[in-house]
Every structure is written in C-alpha cells, then in structure tokens.
Amino acid sequence: MTARDTSNEEQILISHGGGGEMTRRLLAEHIVPPLNNELLGPLDDSAIMPIAAGRLAFTTDAFVVQPLAFAGGDIGRLAVCGTVNDLAVAPAIPKALSLALVIEEGLPIRVLDTIVESIARTAREAGVVIATGDTKVVEHRRGDGLIITTAGIGEMRDGVEFGLERIGSGDVVIVSGRIAEHGLAVMSAREGLAFDTELESDVAPLNHLIGRLFETGADIKFLRDPTRGGLAGVLADLAEDTGCSIELDEDAVPLSPVARHTAELLGLDPLTVANEGKVVIVVAERDADRVLKACHADPLGQHAAIVGRLTETQPPLVELLTRAGGRRIVQRPHGEELPRIC
C-alpha cells in the first residue's frame, strides 16, 4: 500500500478535487456508498441531527500516520477510533463524526477504497455515523498519500463528575490491556521488521468497554486514552495535575512478550509508546475490583490490570517499581522519538 503506484491501475487525479463532475463521481462511486447513512446521503454542506439538551463533547484529530496500513489497522480505522476514544473518555457517548480527506495525486483508488471501507466498518463497530465530510486533492509531493481529519460530537454522560480535585492518595490506576502495541506495530511496518509472532496495533473503539465501566456504578474519577506519549505521558500529566505521586508496578503493567521484544529491538521504552485501543482508569480503591471485572468481561479488556496507586509522596512524580526491585522516575517523553504514529 503505497502513496504512488507505477502500475496502470486507476489513480487519484488533481481533477478529482476540482469540485466539479469528477469530484461528484469520486464521491458517488468510492466514498459515499460504503459510508452511507441518512445524514451523509444528501451531501448537503451540513448534517442536521436531533440533539438532547445537555452537555456536548466536541473533539478533532488529524491523522498523518505512515505507512497508511500496518498490522492490525490502517489510517481509516485509526481516524475513527482516535476521535471516538477522545469522546469516550470525556466521558461522552460518541454520536457522529465528520471526515475530511486530503488525498495526494497518484494515490491508487484501490487504496482509497480499502481505507474508506475500513472507516465504514470501524464506524459501525463503534456505533457512530459519518455525518458529514469533505474531499480535497493536492498535487504529488504536496501531500502524504492520504491525510484524514475527523471531528466528533458526543453526548456527555449524565451524572458523571470528573474533576482532578476528586482524585487523591489511595486511588487505584487500572490499564485496560497490553500496552505499546499500536506504536510498535507502526514502527515495525516502517522499519520492515518481521516477527514470528505477529505484533498488531491495538487500534479499537473503546466506547463500548467504557460504557461497561459506568454500568458497574463504580466511582470512576479519570479516564484517558494513552496515545502519543503512552502510559508514561498520561501518568506524568496526572501526577502534575493532581499533585499526587503515582507508584507504578512494572511487573503489573500488561505487556506481551512480542511487544517487549520489539521494543527492545527498536530501543523504545514501552511505557512511552502510543496505544490506540487502551484506556487508563483512575478509580476509588473500594471499586477497583468491579472495574477490573468489567474490563475482563469485554473483548478489549481481557488483559486489564491494576498497575499502580496514587500516593502522598512529594514532590509529585511517577515512580516505577522495577521488576528487578529498584525504583526509577518515569518521565513524559520529549517527543521526537516517534513521529507520524497517528
């Protein structure tokens, strides 16, 4: 799956982005049918949908991942999940996404088709509609194969109050599954690494899993999807924002053997590598077990584990209790090591 193909297959042309007949046909033949729904169908400039009074969550993300496809997913699945997950941790019930495609001239239409189908499939999986969209084309070497920007709206969950001031010493940190698999899968695809056991991106919509957590009635205090910056980034932010330290148990952090091995090969700390189908949960200690059980009952939460606890230690830092019995401070990554991962 490359941005430009030298074979004779049909490719995106600049004229597909002119807003005229060619654009119409591209939309009618390749983009709208797989995504089709009542909101998108009319191809009006705005989708119009009923909304209940309350609080709305609104988010956006641009996706520039390379390569466009990797083990376990592609840029289309990533674009849907990224926005669905940002809404889900708000915590909102995701309702509708917008989809803006910026296609580089020369992209094989077959590649576009595959990605649009992946978007459609992932949206169905998450239970959201692609309500509105836009498609533009840029010249060769003015784009990057395909850049996707999604925005999303969701209805905030009633009766849930997140607030950093409610988080304190004794609260428990749960991670919903094995970490680092998205970033490692993309880096492996980029580096051309191959393994006996395939490492796949974890990219998945988390809204159903998160719904299960709230159904338990547990006192959930914080949710965050550990994307860029990984688990380390989320916990470093949390320590800074709450003024509490976090004790993280290395042995308890879910990590598959193949991910551990790949991270070693690539020289990466799994704690700082991006996830796209995991959620970090902070919950009152008394409720930790039922939240963990709710995770385990969901296909995406099989490997969920309690990985740490908030403490009163000052200054507020994230401290890793290492497998070897030592302690080290976990810091937020500086940011240069993994560009173009989402």
| In contact, 57 and 156? CB cutoff 8 Å | yes
Least Cβ distance, residue 138 to a copy of itself (angstroms) = 5
Least Cβ distance, residue 125 to a copy of itself (angstroms) = 20
With H, G, I as helix, E, B as strand and everything else as coil, classify residue 33: helix
Nearer to a copy of itself among residue 258 and residue 333 (C-beta): 333
Least Cβ distance, residue 37 to a copy of itself (angstroms) = 13
Nearer to a copy of itself among residue 14 and residue 329 (C-beta): 14
Nearer to a copy of itself among residue 74 and residue 104 (C-beta): 104
Q: Which two tokens stand for residue 334?
A: 């500086």
Nearer to a copy of itself among residue 63 and residue 70 (C-beta): 63
Buried-state track 184-208, b at ≥16 Cβ within 10 A, e below 16: bbbbbbeeeeeeeeebbbbbbbbbb
Amino acid at 81: C
Cα–chain center distance at 111:
21
With H, G, I as helix, E, B as strand and everything else as coil, classify residue 210: helix
Least Cβ distance, residue 304 to a copy of itself (angstroms) = 21
DSSP summary character for residue 199: P
Nearer to a copy of itself among residue 230 and residue 306 (C-beta): 230
Integer Cα distance of 299 and 203 in angstroms: 13
Least Cβ distance, residue 297 to a copy of itself (angstroms) = 26
| In contact, 89 and 281? CB cutoff 8 Å | no
Least Cβ distance, residue 224 to a copy of itself (angstroms) = 8
| In contact, 56 and 153? CB cutoff 8 Å | yes
Nearer to a copy of itself among residue 60 and residue 114 (C-beta): 60
DSSP summary character for residue 108: B
List the strands of the sheet with 129-138, edge to edge: 129-138, 92-104, 146-156
